[in-house]
Amino acid sequence: MNTVTTMLLSLILLIGALGANADSMPYTEGDVWQVSMIRTDANRTDDYLKQLKATFDTWMQAAKKQGLVEDYMILLGESANSSDFDLMIMVRQKNWAGRDRTKEWYDMGDKLFSEDEMLNSAKEYEKVREFLGSKWMRQIKLK
């Protein structure tokens, strides 16, 4: 009986400590962002932005209407060096679960664009930019 009591007491203390730890975090968790970094070729930024308007912007507007994304934005700036990005695309999800709606994304894409349009778009992107990477990050708000 004493062992069971000790185990229960330990479990209660552990659960309390975990809750206290969350309260002591110096921030609250916010939305989740997919951040993509792109380097456009010299004198081709406007060409790339026109392509984004025809494809990415159309896709994101539809995604917002369907509740697949909360918002999106494109940031444009100067590269810090020759290997740096000059364009950042950010797509906001309410939480991590927003990443799990793959079938809905594909279904929506099939309605918006033909397979040939998607393949041609990808080929055109490659002519004017280099995709440097993408990552998912959580927005935080400092307490």
The pTM assigned to this predicted structure is: 0.79
pLDDT of residue 73: 98
- Give the mean pLDDT of 76-96: 96
CA triple 14-137-75, angle to 5 deg: 160
Q: What percent of the chain has pLDDT over 90?
A: 71
Please check the confidence at residue 35 and state whether its pLDDT lies above 90: yes
Residue 47 pLDDT class (50, 70, 90 cuts): very high
CA triple 105-36-135, angle to 5 deg: 85
- CATH topology for 26-142 is Alpha-Beta Plaits (3.30.70)
